[in-house]
Amino acid sequence: MVVGISGASGLPYALDLLSALKAAGVEVHLVATRGALEVLKSETELKPEALFALAHRHYREDELAAPIASGSFATRGMVVVPTSQTTLAKIAAGIADNLLTRAAFVHLKERRPLVLVPRETPLPLPALKAMLDAAEAGAVILPASPGFYHRPRSVEDLVRFVTQRILDHLGVPLEWAPRWGD
C-alpha cells in the first residue's frame, strides 16, 4: 500500500492509518511532502524519523526514481491522507511533479484504488472543481469528515471513524472502529 501524506491539517489521521495498516500486516510505502513535515511539526511532537518508522519504506518527495513512481511496481492501492488542496489540484490536473503526485498519477493510470482525504473548509470553487475532476479520473474523495452516530467519546474515536472508511475503500479487512448497527 502506498500512503502519501501532504501538507494539510490532520496528521493524526495519517498516524492512525499507519497504525491500522501495521495492525493489519500491510506493507506500507510512505511518501511525505515537505508541506507534510511542516504540519507534522505544528500538530505533533513527533520527529520525521518517528513518522517514517511506521512504514516499511519511506521516501522524500523528490525521490522520483523510487519504485512507487512506476506502474510496474505492484501495489494494492494508494491513499493520500490528509490531502492538501495543492496536492488535490495537482492530482486532478495530472501534474506529477513530486513522488507523491507521481505515485497518485500511476494509480490512476493503472486503474488501481486511489483514495484522497481532503481537509479544508470552506471549499472554494477551484477545490470543488478539482474534486470533481479527480473523482471523474477514478479517485475516491473521502473527506476527513467523521460521523457522530457512533457516539464518539474522544478525538481518537473521531479519527478512527475516518480511518475505518479509508480501510474499507482500500479493501483492508480490519475492524478498527464501531460501525452503524454495532
Ligand X SMILES: Cc1cc2nc3c(=O)[nH]c(=O)nc-3n(C[C@H](O)[C@H](O)[C@H](O)COP(=O)(O)O)c2cc1C
For ligand X, the binding residues (CB under 6 A) are 6-9, 33, 35-36, 38-39, 42, 84-87, 119-120
CB of 24 to ligand X, least distance (A): 26
* Shortest reach from residue 38's CB to ligand X, in Å: 5
Question: What's the helix, strand, coil split of the chain in %, to 5?
Answer: 45, 15, 40
Minimum Å gap between C-beta 115 and ligand X is 16
Show the 3-state SS of 18-79.
HHHHHHCCCCCEEEECHHHHHHHHHHCCCCHHHHHCCCCEEEECCCCCCHHHCCCCCCCCEE
Cell of 1: 500500500
User: Nearest 5°: CA angle at 79, between 66 and 48?
Assistant: 65
- Least distance from ligand X to the Cβ atom of residue 154, Å: 21
- Residue 38 or residue 62: which is nearer to ligand X going by CB? 38
8 Å CB contact between 108 and 32: no
Measured from the CB atom, the residue of 59 and 150 that comes closer to ligand X is 59
Whose Cβ is closer to ligand X: residue 44's or residue 174's?
A: 44
Nearer to ligand X among residue 13 and residue 161 (C-beta): 13
Smallest gap from Cβ 61 to ligand X, in A, equals: 7
Between 27 and 38, CB nearer to ligand X:
38
Contact call for residues 98 and 21 (beta carbons, < 8 A): no
Q: Please count the other Cβ atoms lying within 10 Å of the Cβ belonging to residue 26.
A: 17
For residue 37, give the C-alpha cell.
513535515
CB of 91: closest distance to ligand X in angstroms?
10
Question: What amino acid occupies position 82?
Answer: P
Identity of the residue, 4 or 172, whose beta carbon is nearer to ligand X in the bound complex: 4
